Structure 1
Amino acid sequence: MVRFPLKEVQSTRTQRPTSGSSYPYVEIMIGDLLNQRITQLQLEQGLELCRVIAMHMENMLSFREKRLTLPPSEITLL
């Protein structure tokens, strides 16, 4: 089993099954701009895994944006 923080996920993509296999591949790019690696998984629900990861990443980004913006009451005081 492999573990990595969700914040290290750079991208995900699915690839069609190769001849002789029945499940699609999921490629997950992990790391930062200087040090990246790709983890490849082959599983039946690969597309669903990409959707779940994307949903969590969107939630993290949304939460981060909310933290970085000032509430309207603080903007009017400036």
Structure 2
Amino acid sequence: MLSVGEMNSGVAHVKREPVADARDTDNAWVENDVWAVFLGSRVPEPSVLSHNLSWIHWDSDILAMQDREYVSASFSFLDSAEQ
């Protein structure tokens, strides 16, 4: 288990963010965990390449603002880890 801010074998635990939910109690609550996986050195699966993929830019309006923030945080984390 990686703590927030740690990276091992190309997997990083970027952030953990509490989410307000009507079901929250003193002992149970909802959190979003954001993880990043570095795939730059991996060979793509041939089965994936045979399908038609539709790529979108990570900052596209098709993603919710919160999702864009999570992706941005993941890119920032991986960029800082490479240096």
- Please identify the structure whose Cα radius of gyration is greater: 1
By percentage of residues, which structure has more helix? Answer: 1
Instruction: Decide: shared fold, TM above 0.5.
Output: no
TM-score normalized by the length of structure 1: 0.32
